[in-house]
Structure 1
């Protein structure tokens, strides 16, 4: 059964390779058909029938690369002052920063406390820290481009956070 089916498919595929005829009618219109007509000639389809196209591109003007001037940013922590003692039982610290010149588009600032990012990157020059533990801390602000490259850093600022303790000196009883 399979052999008969295979032979039938081969016969059908061989008959589909019919000759194509081309002729021009009395109005000058070109026609193609698989049936021969008067004044028709056989078209050889074994030729390369792929379309080829060339694209003419306009000449490109010589483009000189822009000189990338490296902008030097200055980041300064305005407050708190160096070695300031901040008294806050909740551990809240406000940090104000100055940046010159203006930040480029997409650049943000990150506040690092003891070398760890303490806030999300932001464009605001005021940082609000919450829940900082008492003791000595070093604060640094980095200006970071969208690519993650650090464009500038402030000098480290040492601050002390003081929190009142419930464990005060023992009171003498009378």
Structure 2
């Protein structure tokens, strides 16, 4: 998301430079009216047209980021039952993980969902406990 904002800001700066450069108008050798941001050859009579650039954006990057975050489609709108069911499952799983981790000893083996055995040291157990507490805080009412 930060990357999108940065690209947008860079594009705005570049476009404002183009707008300030002005536009040139002239008639080519075939009688066609030509508009360009680059001046024609000196031998051609041209007219420089000043372009008024739009005012700069008044919203802060944080306001823009908040609006984008609010507009993200999670796919669950309109189906509160699905959302409630997912929240219940995540809550239940977080509580179960926390209970197991609080009773774990360093070096103890755990089987992951994809049936792999992993062993956690004391620091890894502490990190996993924090993660489980975060899940509980986010999904349990």
Superposition TM-score, scaled by structure 1 size: 0.21
Select the structure of larger CA radius of gyration: 1
Task: Name whichever structure is richer in helix by fraction.
Answer: 2
Structure with the higher fraction of residues in strand conformation: 1
Higher RCO, 1 or 2 (CA under 8 Å, sep at least 6)? 1
